[in-house]
């Protein structure tokens, strides 16, 4: 928390009790109406998501997560959720029991989670037509309206709606609030939930309660000077600028934009506008919703400063503050840029942060749909963190607050404030439980986008798209990421020529696109979108193949500490109930896939075999996500006995590789970095990787060091000769690492040569 009492301290004081799971029957229907459209169109947008009701998940892990959350949303007692509202607004609780955890009657920011429930009910109704969820949302809105109508008797100002007294806002404005409350954080959740019930269910009562509460915010903040407002913004405020901007777009009333801009936090926005990383030490989830607000303020106003703030924030966070699973922060706070290996703790990756980073990613993609790296990140965080956040053994889809990344970490163990314990039906109600409800009722929202008549496919998930505006249905069938292939069948009124754009992830190589079994001659560059333009016929089937490989993803701050990835999937080691006191030492060359029907792998770590599997499936056991994959090797030529180094110990691009006595200098040490089925050799002294001059495929082409820019000549395959020696083959040319003229002389240069069986083609890999 950014206030004087931290979430951690508050959690230590609040117990968590579990209630017995209850399930209800599931009714599948279609929403009775379309979403309420906004009054204003967004500025600068060139790609649009489909409405929630237009995309349906089919049988998959994703649908399982949605259904577990659906069970919980149908189960929860609305009267218990209303307890604090009714008490605060001087109304009868109708005999309902109070909740525990963050919704207990004495918890500072009680009634924050109810807005999440409103959003999740509304989203699930839009997605599935579930009338139980619709009716629960409508009932809560009606009771909130009753609470709001009793403000005069309760001694509150018109429009106020909360579970704690309005005096907390007075203390906040005077900077004397000391009970740990974050009042605008909770108001944001209520506003957002009401807005979603209005938009997705069409409730005019939700609209009226929303406008009254927003009017109260306008009155309350309109009395403050700019200096007072900025001081108040030091306390966590959720996404107030975002929801009020949304209200402006939804209604067209400029009043709400003016209120939204009062919540622009200069101390955070100014450095980001200048692309300065001053995130270290900041409470992470206090900031991300503000960035979402900046993106939405750009779309409402066209002011490029807002766009720059959101874009720079995303770039800095993803590139310098994000773990391999896509989450960020430790103990809820950003650390120094690139500080990853130094913070592998039990309290990493608060789920709220990742949920909100996904929302920010969506905002930016709408502005720049050619930037495939946005959805490369989205997929990484969505698959490895968010899908695994939910407990598959819980029929109510309970979730973790943090996702531990310490050696021997385990989901669902330990107190929420120090590990990954599961949420409960009525005893927790953390922020991450609230965003978890939203996350797992909108898992389909980013699979497809559209830009004019172009269909954009971002994610590879079993699903059905109803492109109703064009009378087209797209059915995606896939076992991805277990398999590397997905098919998209296009049916309906498909006539005419239009384009389908398919994300080609940055981690793949050799992607192919076929139509009705015929491979298409289109560009499939990794980290881009492949564009398939054709005159379509109903029944056309597009097949996309995205070859996957094992790649070690090194921590930004320590190249010797790395996570294992296979395609989009982070693999973790299964250590059962064994404890780990440090990172296991992994032999990257030992990683082997052991099944064609599941993502099952083995590797050697600490001298023993360990089973590896997808981290999103790592439940019920202790795991390792990061490994000590370091240590360096020396490459000793069998023909000469000399070791490979860089001429004159150069650190420059183009420094030639040669053989020399094993004198112990740093330029003789190499990191083996797993890359697909091969390796890159990174020189410890220079940081450059071994490659071939001008990417030549000729015999005797010069071998040298170069910046690690990912070109194919930087990747080498180790061919085990069975006698402790290896041939080292360049994957680009197919030639072997060798010594010019088969020389045994000190200073002879390394070249690539044919596989002619000479001893200078063989190397001993000596670990230091």
Q: Give per-residue pLDDT as tens, 314-330.
A: 999 999 999 999 999 99
Strand partners, 408: none
- Under DSSP, the state recorded for 383 is I
Q: What is the DSSP string of 517-538?
A: TEE------TTEEEEEEEE--T
> Residue 180, exposed/middle/buried by CB under 10 A (0-12, 13-18, 19+)?
middle
Higher pLDDT, 145 or 758: 145
- SS3 state of residue 333: strand
- SS3 state of residue 296: helix
Q: Is pLDDT of 18 > 70?
A: no
By mean pLDDT, which of 27-31, 491-495, 718-722 is the weakest? 27-31
- 134 close to 72: Cβ distance less than 8 angstroms: no
Higher pLDDT, 723 or 593: 593
Distance CA(374)–CA(358), nearest Å, equals 9
Query: What is the per-residue pLDDT for 677?
Result: 61
Per-residue pLDDT band for 4 (boundaries 50, 70, 90) equals: very low
Separation in Å, CA 387 to CA 57, 359, 408, 416, 674: 14, 15, 20, 18, 26
- Residue 86: half-sphere exposure toward Cβ, Cα within 13 Å: 18
Distance CA(544)–CA(567), nearest Å, equals 14
- Burial track 446-475 (b if 16+ CB lie within 10 A, e otherwise): bbbbbbeebbbbbbbbbbbbbbeebebbbb
By mean pLDDT, which of 411-420, 452-461, 618-627 is the weakest? 411-420
**And the tokens for 375?**
């959805």
Mean pLDDT of the chain: 92
Percent of the chain with pLDDT over 70: 94
- 282 close to 288: Cβ distance less than 8 angstroms: no
Per-residue pLDDT band for 17 (boundaries 50, 70, 90) equals: very low
Give residue-wise pLDDT tens across range 50-70: 999 999 999 999 999 999 999
Strand partners, 358: none
Distance CA(518)–CA(280), nearest Å, equals 51
By mean pLDDT, which of 15-24, 199-208, 252-261 is the weakest? 15-24
Per-residue pLDDT band for 508 (boundaries 50, 70, 90) equals: very high
**And the tokens for 133?**
């969820």
**And the tokens for 119?**
């959003």
- 325 close to 380: Cβ distance less than 8 angstroms: yes
Q: Is pLDDT of 244 > 90?
A: yes
Strand partners, 623: 409, 574
Give residue-wise pLDDT tens across range 177-224: 999 999 999 999 999 999 999 999 999 999 999 999 999 999 999 999
**And the tokens for 360?**
């920010």
Distance CA(647)–CA(667), nearest Å, equals 9
> Beta strand pairing status for 497-504 and 528-535?
antiparallel
Contacts of 149 by beta carbon, 8 Å cutoff, 6+ apart: none
Per-residue pLDDT band for 765 (boundaries 50, 70, 90) equals: confident
How far the first Cα of the chain sits from its last, in Å, is 45
Contacts of 298 by beta carbon, 8 Å cutoff, 6+ apart: 43, 44, 304, 306, 307, 310, 367
Query: What is the per-residue pLDDT for 680?
Result: 85
Would you say domain 56-446 falls under CATH 1.50.10? Answer: yes
Give residue-wise pLDDT tens across range 347-394: 999 999 999 999 999 999 999 999 999 999 999 999 999 999 999 999
Per-residue pLDDT band for 26 (boundaries 50, 70, 90) equals: very low
Distance CA(445)–CA(457), nearest Å, equals 12
> Residue 506, exposed/middle/buried by CB under 10 A (0-12, 13-18, 19+)?
middle
Q: Is pLDDT of 29 > 50?
A: no
Distance CA(19)–CA(282), nearest Å, equals 35
Query: What is the per-residue pLDDT for 417?
Result: 58
Across 554-563, average pLDDT:
86
Query: What is the per-residue pLDDT for 713?
Result: 84
Distance CA(532)–CA(56), nearest Å, equals 24
Per-residue pLDDT band for 25 (boundaries 50, 70, 90) equals: very low
Distance CA(642)–CA(745), nearest Å, equals 9
- The position carrying tokens 């939910």 is 390
**And the tokens for 145?**
């309206």
**Alpha-carbon torsion, ordered 622, 626, 632, 637, to 10 deg:** 80
Architecture of the domain delimited by 633-767: Trefoil (2.80)
Query: What is the per-residue pLDDT for 668?
Result: 87
Across 703-723, average pLDDT:
83
- 535 close to 497: Cβ distance less than 8 angstroms: yes
Nearest residue to 349 via CA among 380, 370, 393? 380
Q: Is pLDDT of 276 > 70?
A: yes
- SS3 state of residue 250: helix
């Amino acid at each position: 928390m950014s206030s004087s009492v931290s979430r951690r301290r508050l959690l230590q004081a609040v117990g968590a009790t579990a209630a017995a799971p209850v399930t209800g029957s599931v009714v599948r229907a279609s929403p009775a109406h379309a979403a309420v459209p906004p009054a204003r169109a967004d500025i600068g947008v060139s790609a649009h998501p489909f409405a929630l009701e237009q995309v349906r998940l089919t049988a998959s892990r994703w649908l399982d997560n949605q259904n577990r959350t659906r069970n919980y949303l149908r189960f929860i007692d609305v009267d218990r959720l209303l307890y604090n509202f009714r008490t605060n607004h001087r109304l009868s609780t109708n005999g309902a029991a109070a909740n525990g955890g963050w919704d207990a009657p004495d918890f500072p920011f009680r009634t924050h989670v109810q807005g999440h429930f409103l959003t999740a009910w509304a989203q699930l109704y839009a997605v599935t037509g579930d009338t139980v969820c619709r009716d629960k949302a409508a009932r809560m809105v009606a009771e909130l309206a009753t609470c709001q109508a009793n403000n005069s008797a309760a001694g509150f100002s018109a429009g106020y709606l909360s579970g704690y007294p309005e005096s907390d806002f007075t203390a906040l404005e005077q900077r004397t609030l000391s009970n740990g409350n974050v009042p605008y954080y909770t108001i944001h959740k209520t506003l957002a939930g009401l807005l979603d019930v209005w938009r997705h269910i069409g409730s005019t009562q939700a609209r009226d309660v929303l406008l009254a509460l927003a009017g109260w915010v306008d009155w309350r903040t309109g009395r403050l000077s700019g200096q007072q407002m900025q001081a108040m913004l030091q306390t966590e405020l959720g996404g107030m600028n975002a929801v009020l901007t949304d209200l402006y777009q939804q209604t067209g009333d400029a009043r709400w934009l003016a209120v939204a801009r009062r919540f622009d936090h200069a101390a955070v926005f100014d450095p980001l506008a200048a692309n300065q990383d001053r995130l270290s030490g900041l409470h992470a989830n206090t900031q991300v919703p503000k960035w979402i607000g900046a993106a939405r303020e750009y779309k409402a106003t066209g002011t490029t400063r807002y766009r720059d703030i959101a874009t720079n924030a995303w770039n800095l966070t993803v590139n310098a503050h994000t773990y391999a699973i896509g989450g960020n922060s430790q103990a809820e706070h950003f650390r120094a840029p690139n500080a990853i290996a130094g913070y592998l703790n039990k309290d990493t990756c608060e789920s709220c942060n990742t949920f909100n980073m996904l929302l920010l990613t969506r905002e930016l993609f709408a502005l720049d749909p050619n930037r495939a790296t946005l959805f490369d990140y989205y997929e990484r965080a969505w698959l490895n963190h968010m899908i695994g956040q939910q407990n598959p053994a819980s029929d109510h889809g309970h979730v973790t607050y943090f996702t531990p990344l310490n050696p021997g970490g385990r989901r669902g163990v330990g107190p929420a404030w120090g590990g990954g314990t599961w949420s409960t039906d009525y005893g927790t109600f953390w922020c991450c439980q609230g965003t978890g409800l939203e996350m797992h009722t909108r898992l389909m929202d980013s699979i497809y986008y559209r830009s004019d008549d172009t269909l954009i496919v971002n994610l590879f998930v079993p699903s059905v798209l109803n492109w109703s505006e064009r009378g087209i249905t797209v059915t995606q069938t896939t076992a991805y990421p277990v398999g590397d292939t997905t098919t998209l069948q296009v049916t309906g009124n498909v006539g005419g020529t239009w384009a389908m754009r398919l994300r080609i992830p940055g981690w793949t190589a050799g992607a192919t696109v076929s139509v009705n079994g015929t491979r298409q001659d289109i560009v499939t560059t990794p980290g881009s979108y492949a564009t398939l333009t054709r005159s379509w016929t109903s029944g056309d089937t597009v097949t996309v193949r995205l070859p996957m490989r094992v790649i070690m993803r090194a921590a930004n701050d320590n190249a010797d500490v790395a996570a294992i990835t296979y395609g989009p999937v982070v693999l973790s080691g299964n250590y059962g109930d064994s404890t780990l006191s440090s990172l296991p030492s992994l032999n990257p060359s030992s990683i082997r896939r052991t099944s064609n029907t599941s993502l099952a792998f083995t590797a050697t770590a600490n001298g023993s075999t360990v089973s590896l599997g997808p981290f999103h499936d790592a439940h019920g056991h202790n795991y390792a996500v990061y490994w000590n994959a370091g240590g360096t090797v020396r490459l000793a030529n069998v023909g000469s006995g000399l070791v490979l180094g860089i001429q004159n110990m150069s650190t420059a691009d183009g420094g030639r590789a040669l053989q020399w006595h094993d004198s112990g200098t740093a330029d003789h040490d190499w990191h083996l970095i797993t890359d697909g089925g091969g390796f890159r050799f990174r020189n410890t002294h220079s940081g450059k990787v071994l490659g071939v001059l001008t990417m030549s495929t000729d015999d005797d082409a010069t071998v040298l060091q170069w910046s690690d820019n990912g070109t194919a000549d930087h990747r080498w395959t180790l061919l085990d000769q069975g006698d402790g020696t290896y041939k080292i083959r360049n994957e680009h040319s197919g030639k072997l690492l060798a010594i010019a003229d088969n020389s045994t002389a000190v200073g002879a240069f390394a070249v690539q040569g044919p596989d002619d069986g000479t001893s200078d083609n063989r190397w001993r890999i000596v670990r230091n």
